[in-house]
Structure 1
Amino acid sequence: MIRPLSGPASGRDVPSRRLLLSTQLVFNVGFYAIVPFLALHMSRNLALAGWMVGLVLGVRTFSQQGMFFIGGSLAERYGCRTLILCGCVVRIAGYLCFAVADSAAAMLLGACLTGVGGALFSPCLEALAARIDAQSPADDRRRSIFAQFAVYGEVGAVAGPLLGSLLFDIGFAWMALASAGVFLLALLVLWRRLPPLKPAARVPGGWGWSELFANRPFLLFMLFYSSYLLSYNQMYLGLPVELERSHGGARDMAWLFALASVLVVACQMPLAALCKRWPPRLPLVAGFALLAAAFVNLALWTAVAPLPGAWRLLPAVLTVVLLTAGQMCAVPVAMALVPAYARQRLLPVHYGALASAGGLMVLLGNMLLGRLFAAIPAEPEAGVLAWSVAAVFPALSALYFAFARQGMPRAA
């Protein structure tokens, strides 16, 4: 019986911090060069119904986040290097599918492939980050690698939408090909630089699922944390609806994503250092309360006429600021809590399950919210209901983290 991929490991078992953070940056450039514009492409260029747009985006997220559980389990069997490289190949295939897609069915196929690609490599990156964090000296551990992950990811998220906005007017196919090219470059670099990362042996008890499902505190944490992904996914589904209401376009979308990225780059590390001084419960409650406030903000604005000039973007800007602040408070703390919930065992499986719960929440939630958002162009008052429903999910999570007493680790 051999040790599963879990907590402490030798330096040869993990890549360098620099390689892992650079990978996060490059992956986000390729991702954000196309994904923020999928809703605009499907509604404007392909003339798909609102519920179909929501379904495609939900399927993309679910096939990634929902399949993280499988990706984490496969990483325990075959090693993180294999899963990361295979994930790059599958995601490249998905972007190539987007490049030639001219129907809802083709967009669904591309969405599935890009999502599955992420499901293969993302749990591995998170598990390796946790292992690097566990090996780091005390001084380095004060610089949370998950906060650094967010910063590097957002630098990529600045470049990605700007690249995509430049190519959007030329043609969606060029955006898809550019994203595929970014992941091809990453594949070649990782093929040469990523260490073997082979698992020591077979996981005790098969895939590790029985141990995970017996961990009731983690299951509750996973359930209520999953509303984060649904909330942040409204940057792709709900925000384009608000921009259409306020007569915005693709370039406005790019600048809003750039704003979110600049906020993370400027504020994530200081905020993470502040949150480390608090019990984990406090930043989680604050983060989910801010996510709920982001949607309450739009519920208040959507029933009135858009403001004149550049002020028309004010509701969207406020929502992006609140969503980003909520993310910066909650996500690094939640990610750092997973090894404590998992007792330093089966980390890819636990990170995968956490993301899978979020993916399922997005799939179901986007189908509901997509129908509600579809009514807004014809009846702006319908936005009050749509955004209020969106606010309920993170508000319930904030209440859970505020009052939960059993099983939550006292420190990340």
Structure 2
Amino acid sequence: MTALSATDPAAARLRPAPGLLLTSQLVFNIGFYAVVPFLALVMSQDFGMTATAVGVVLGARVFSQQGLFLVGGMITDRFGPRRAMLAGCLVRISGYLTLAMAGSFPLFLLGAVLTGMGGALFSPALESLVGRAEERRRNTSGKAPGLFALLAICGEIGAVAGPLVGALLLGLSFSWAALAGAAVFAVMTGVLWRSVPAGAPHREPDKVSIRRLPAFRRRSSTVPSSKLPSSTVLSSRLPSSTLISSVTPNDGVAAMLRDKRFVAFAALYSVNLLAYNQLYFGLPIELTRSGAGPEALAVLFALASVLTVALQWPISRLTSRVGAGRALTAGFLLKALAFAAMAVLAQFPATGMLQLLPPLLLVAGLCLGHMCIGPVAMPLVLDFARGRRTGIYYGLLASMGGCAVLLGNFALGPLYSGASRPGPEAVWPWAVMAALMVIPAVGLSRLLPAKR
């Protein structure tokens, strides 16, 4: 086997540039948000479908994406990030073409599921490549804010630009918006085909492990270096970022699931996605309670994106100085405070400018907490994986988040039924979410992986 240094030109040719990965996230989100946010509107207003039908389609899309992230991670590790990303683009293209032709519930459902499956293939592969680039950056830049912060910023820029593009195309028809989205992913497929090397290694392997070379450990004092395999000699002379191409039986899903610390970390971290999903589930109910109206929803979503774009980088710089444990605790406490404020304010009628105070506090708290948590937690996966393939690790993290959203929203649904009117009953969904945020705020800092 051949060892490649992190600075080796041959190794560099096997890696896509970080700029390409960040641009891919930007374009991917533009294509997504140009179409999917308008699904509910089109199904209900243009085709007269019931709220139940709309809810089934939207729920199926979320679960087919988040719930299948682990499968996407396994495919990434088995066939490589390039193939997984290309497959994700092609599947999403097929989903958008189906939506462009849809006029009935079954076609909308099929198109939504295909759209979600495309994301389940694409995102773990992208995060895996970003994770490798982040590991190389960490070895040279220390604690400076990393690529996952930039990934979040690029994603939010796409989340702002996508609906604007979609709204313009929706003036023609939803079919044109879906076809334009398919065209975006078709162009992306071509760019990734040319730019992501086919020979890119499946993972960023770790340093030479003595456990892998028991024979050399026993003979290290007697065997000259000239008699050892070239990879062993090179690895002993290269820095800690040296890469080796090797696969061990411990690289699979079973080994990951045996890592009880990581499984517990992923389980606690999953409520982060449940909390952020309340912008889509709980926020519209709060706007009904406060009388602000649905027209305020677009303004609040724009505010969420602007906050992320403006503050993600400085917050990442701050969290890189205070450390992962404190950053995670602070992030979940900010979300807990946002939900607690909602639990207090939801009891009272709101008039005038105070109509927007509760939803503004909710959006600000959830976004600030999310900015503290995400870019800190994602690089920790590298330390949990310890040089093994990272696709399944990122996949499990996202799949647990999808399951938390599915189960959590199911449990919160009856509680939200009383939250559309001011009064004591409006307290419960927000109070439950506030209490739930305290668990990872306390527990995650105790589950951090050991640094390599």
TM range (shorter): 0.7 to 0.9
Shift of 1:86: 0.8
1:307 maps to a residue whose letter is T
SS of residue in 2 equivalent to 1:276: helix
Superposition TM-score, scaled by structure 1 size? 0.86
Tell me the residue number matched to 1:63. Answer: 64
Q: How does 1:126-137 map to 2 (within 5 A)?
A: 126-136=127-137
- The worse-fitting range, judged by mean Cα deviation, of 195-204 and 83-92 is 195-204
Tell me the residue number matched to 2:210. Answer: none
1:235 equivalent in alignment to 2:293: no
* 2:140 counterpart (138, 141, 157): 138
User: Whole-Å Cα distance in 2 between the matches of residues 240 and 37 of structure 1?
Assistant: 15
Q: What RMSD, in angstroms, separates the aligned Cα atoms of the two structures?
A: 3.2
1:313 equivalent in alignment to 2:314: no
Tell me the residue number matched to 2:188. Answer: 186
Tell me the residue number matched to 1:390. Answer: 433
User: Whole-Å Cα distance in 1 between the matches of residues 395 and 61 of structure 2?
Assistant: 16
1:346 maps to a residue whose letter is R
Tell me the residue number matched to 2:119. Answer: 118
Tell me the residue number matched to 1:10. Answer: 11
Cα deviation, 1:30-77, whole Å, max 9, x if unaligned, reads: 222334444555566666666665554333222212211111111121
SS of residue in 1 equivalent to 2:113: helix
User: Whole-Å Cα distance in 1 between the matches of residues 277 and 2 of structure 2?
Assistant: 39
Shift of 1:188: 2.6
Shift of 1:210: 1.1
* 1:151 counterpart (150, 153, 160): 153
Pair 1:374–1:353, CA change in 2 (3 A): same
Pair 1:323–1:42, CA change in 2 (3 A): farther
User: Whole-Å Cα distance in 1 between the matches of residues 115 and 423 of structure 2?
Assistant: 33
Tell me the residue number matched to 1:27. Answer: 28
User: Whole-Å Cα distance in 2 between the matches of residues 367 and 46 of structure 1?
Assistant: 26
Tell me the residue number matched to 2:319. Answer: 275
Cα deviation, 1:251-296, whole Å, max 9, x if unaligned, reads: x333322211221221111111111112311111111122223333
Tell me the residue number matched to 2:302. Answer: 258
Tell me the residue number matched to 2:79. Answer: 78
Tell me the residue number matched to 1:94. Answer: 95
Tell me the residue number matched to 1:209. Answer: 253
Pair 1:286–1:107, CA change in 2 (3 A): farther
> Would the aligned equivalents of 1:95 and 1:114 in 2 still touch at CA under 8 Å?
yes
Superposition TM-score, scaled by structure 2 size? 0.79
Aligned residues: 403
Larger Rg: 2
Pair 1:99–1:311, CA change in 2 (3 A): farther
Shift of 1:138: 2.2
5+ residue gaps, structure 2: 203-244
5+ residue gaps, structure 1: none
Shift of 1:186: 1.9
User: Whole-Å Cα distance in 2 between the matches of residues 388 and 92 of structure 1?
Assistant: 41
- The worse-fitting range, judged by mean Cα deviation, of 263-272 and 325-334 is 263-272
User: Whole-Å Cα distance in 1 between the matches of residues 38 and 13 of structure 2?
Assistant: 40
- The worse-fitting range, judged by mean Cα deviation, of 286-295 and 239-248 is 239-248
Cα deviation, 1:238-263, whole Å, max 9, x if unaligned, reads: 2233334434335x333322211221
> Would the aligned equivalents of 2:68 and 2:120 in 1 still touch at CA under 8 Å?
yes
User: Whole-Å Cα distance in 2 between the matches of residues 47 and 302 of structure 1?
Assistant: 32
Tell me the residue number matched to 1:351. Answer: 394
1:293 equivalent in alignment to 2:337: yes
1:408 maps to a residue whose letter is L
Pair 1:381–1:264, CA change in 2 (3 A): same
* 2:294 counterpart (249, 257, 270): 249
User: Whole-Å Cα distance in 1 between the matches of residues 164 and 385 of structure 2?
Assistant: 39
User: Whole-Å Cα distance in 2 between the matches of residues 242 and 165 of structure 1?
Assistant: 25
- The worse-fitting range, judged by mean Cα deviation, of 273-282 and 128-137 is 128-137
SS of residue in 2 equivalent to 1:345: coil
Cα deviation, 1:9-48, whole Å, max 9, x if unaligned, reads: 9222320011011111111112223344445555666666
> Would the aligned equivalents of 1:288 and 1:398 in 2 still touch at CA under 8 Å?
yes
Shift of 1:397: 1.7
Shift of 1:122: 0.7
2:184 maps to a residue whose letter is V
User: Whole-Å Cα distance in 1 between the matches of residues 279 and 42 of structure 2?
Assistant: 15
Percent identical among aligned pairs is: 45
> Would the aligned equivalents of 1:70 and 1:352 in 2 still touch at CA under 8 Å?
yes
Tell me the residue number matched to 1:338. Answer: 381
> Would the aligned equivalents of 1:80 and 1:197 in 2 still touch at CA under 8 Å?
no
Tell me the residue number matched to 2:198. Answer: 196
* 2:407 counterpart (364, 387, 390): 364
Tell me the residue number matched to 2:370. Answer: 327
User: Whole-Å Cα distance in 2 between the matches of residues 38 and 155 of structure 1?
Assistant: 21
